Amino acid sequence: MAVGIFDSGIGGLTVLDAVTRRLPDLPLVYLGDNAHAPYGVRTHDDIFNLTCAAVERLWAEGCDLVILACNTASAAALKRMQETWVPADKRVLGVFVPMIEALTERQWGDNSPPREVAVRHVALFATPATVASRAFQRELAFRAIGVDVEAQPCGGVVDAIEQGDEILAEALVRSHVEALMRRMPHPQAAVLGCTHYPLMETTFQDALGPDVKVFSQANLVAESLADYLVRRPEMLGAGTDSKFLTTGDPKAVSSKSTQFLRRRITFEAA
Sign of CA dihedral 48, 131, 32, 248: positive
Q: Is 154 a catalytic residue?
A: no
Give burial (CB, 10 Å; 0-12/13-18/19+) of 16.
buried
261 close to 17: Cβ distance less than 8 angstroms = yes
- Nearest CA to 30 among 19, 45, 42? 19
Q: Give dist(CA 269, CA 247) in Å, integer.
A: 6
- Nearest CA to 194 among 80, 47, 96, 58? 96
List 52, 63, 154, 194, catalytic entry: 194
Angle between helical axes of 201-208 and 166-183 (0-180°, round to 10): 40
List 52, 63, 70, 154, catalytic entry: 70
Q: Give dist(CA 35, CA 32) in Å, integer.
A: 8
Q: Is 63 a catalytic residue?
A: no
Q: Give dist(CA 131, CA 82) in Å, integer.
A: 20
**Active site amino acids:** 70, 194
